[in-house]
Structures are given as C-alpha cells and as structure tokens.
Amino acid sequence: MSPRSPVLDSPTKGQVSVLADEANRRDAPPSKHSGLTVLSVSGLEDDHVTLGHIFSHSNWRLRSARNLGDAFEALRTETISVAICERDLPDGTWKNLLAELALCETPPVLVVSSRIADDCLWAEVLNLGGCDVLAKPFDAKEVVWAVSMAWNDWKNRSRQSQGALV
C-alpha cells in the first residue's frame, strides 16, 4: 500500500472477517463468483489499493475500473452486486454510472465516494437511487458496513425480482 492511501481506524482482520462472513451467510442468488463482487470505479489508483487492502481479509472480490468505459465492460461480463464510484470520474460522474446500472438485469447497488461527502451529495445520491456515500479517505469499518448493507439490499432486490418471474 502506498503512503498516500491511508486506512484510518482500520478494523482488525477478525472484525472485517466477522462482518464479511455475516453478509456472506445470507442466501445469495447464484453467480459466477461464490462471494460478493464489488466494482470500484475511480480514476485514483489509491482508491483501488485501499479498497483492495480492506477486502483482502474477506472473500469479497474487488473489480477495479479506472473510468466509465471499463466499468460498463465489467457490468456486461461479470455479476456485480455493489458498485463504489468516485463522485467525479475522468469521463463522467457517478450519475452516468447510475444510469448504466439501471440497465442491468439485477442492478448493482451504488455507493458514491468523495472527499466532499456533505449532506447535499448524500441527499442527491439517495434521491436518485444510490444507497450511501462514503467519505474519503476511506475508513475500513465504514466501507465494510456500507458494502454489507448494500449487498443485503442487492440480495433482497434479487429475490424480489426472481419471485416476480415465478
């Protein structure tokens, strides 16, 4: 991990594992990957490194995308449950990703990240259909909690959509 990618107040390996294991125990719809796949969309390498470090203590898989084009490709080829997207990207914003997520059969749940995670951004994200906002630099406990809640939301939506098809 580079010195510019701090993980403040990092939980112990056991704390991350307990939270991740609890989220993993709930029944999930079948996917190509036996755990949770999180898509990290950010033009900042430090974001991917920090999230990789946080997830390294669990069976969660991190799929990194440096821009919207890479993110759209990942959505077409993989089962993504949660997307963490930087507010501003080299080729757009989190709103562009949110529009693309809506086109997925079972849309991933969106968490927006920003150094300026104020009430205005939080309200906008929630009002437009996102799930949460993570302040940066990332706090490992907050990331694990937000991703766990988003994954639970995704699993509930998946079950509801599967029930509607039966």
The enclosing domain of 49 has a CATH number of 3.40.50.2300
Segment 26-50 shows an average pLDDT of: 77
Q: Is the pLDDT reported for residue 57 higher than 70? A: yes
* 120 lies in some domain: yes
* 55 or 34, which is more confident: 55
Strands 37-41 and 61-65: parallel
The 3-state DSSP composition of the chain as helix, strand, coil percent (nearest 5) reads: 45, 20, 35
Segment 79-85 shows an average pLDDT of: 97
Query: Could you give the percent of the chain with pLDDT greater than 90?
Result: 71
Choose among 84, 100, 99: nearest CA to 41.
84
* 34 lies in some domain: yes
* 159 or 88, which is more confident: 88
* 2 or 74, which is more confident: 74
Q: Is the pLDDT reported for residue 39 higher than 70? A: yes
* Contact call for residues 42 and 112 (beta carbons, < 8 A): no
* 1 lies in some domain: no
* 161 lies in some domain: yes
* 82 or 9, which is more confident: 82
For residue range 89-141, list pLDDT tens digits in order: 999 999 999 999 999 999 999 999 999 999 999 999 999 999 999 999 999 99
* 77 lies in some domain: yes
Could you tell me the end-to-end alpha-carbon distance of the chain, in angstroms, rounded to an integer? 47
What is the residue range of 56's domain? 13-165
Number of domains in the chain: 1
Q: Is the pLDDT reported for residue 38 higher than 50? A: yes
Segment 75-92 shows an average pLDDT of: 96
Q: Is the pLDDT reported for residue 28 higher than 50? A: no
Q: Is the pLDDT reported for residue 3 higher than 80? A: no
* 8 lies in some domain: no
* 136 lies in some domain: yes
Angle, to 10 degrees, between the axis of helix 140-165 and the axis of helix 13-25?
Answer: 10
Strand partners, 3: none
pLDDT at 162 (0 to 100): 73
* Reported confidence tier of residue 164, pLDDT bands at 50, 70, 90: low
